[in-house]
Amino acid sequence: MSRIAILPLLLVFSTIARATDVQYCEENAEYEVKVKEVNISPNPIARGEPATFTISATTGRGITGGKLVIEVTYFGWHIHSETHDLCSETTCPVETGDFLVAHSQVLPGYTPPGSYSLQMKMLDSQKKELTCIKFSIDIGSVPSVADM
């Protein structure tokens, strides 16, 4: 296959899933869970279509359960909160070492396009904060089939 034919394929795949920049909520905090990477697929997210967030992380201790708490802001305004059982987003118990947390959902077709900020806290079963990260997501402006 020529380089010219490969380039369009690479461009297509780079928009399907792409690692996003992640920051810890507190710069100098010593979190028990270290986040390596967050992948969002597709990126940008299409309104009315499934989107998957995959978080690659590592822990120095086993985790038997807990919660994921997600806060969403748009132009600095808090617009949404949700809480998920950690064991529904990954396999529990989480063993010491590397693990993945994956969450999928469909955003409503009426979701305004633009850049949103997400903050995700991972809490153990005693509500101790294991990690807190923040990152941005982009919602595409192309209308989905549900909008038509």
Q: What is the pLDDT of residues 1-43, one digit of tens each?
A: 433 433 333 333 334 445 778 999 999 999 999 999 999 999 9
pLDDT the model gives residue 148 = 45
pLDDT digits (tens, 9 = 90+) for 73-88: 999 999 999 999 999 9
Q: How many CB atoms lie within 10 A of CB 116?
A: 20
pTM of the predicted protein model = 0.80
**Calculated CA dihedral for residues 80, 94, 102, 127, nearest 10 degrees:** 0
What percent of the chain is modeled with pLDDT above 70? 83
Structure tokens at 62: 């086993």
Domains along the chain with CATH numbers: 22-138 (2.60.40.770)
> Residues near 89 by Cβ (< 8 Å), separated by ≥ 6?
68, 101, 102, 103
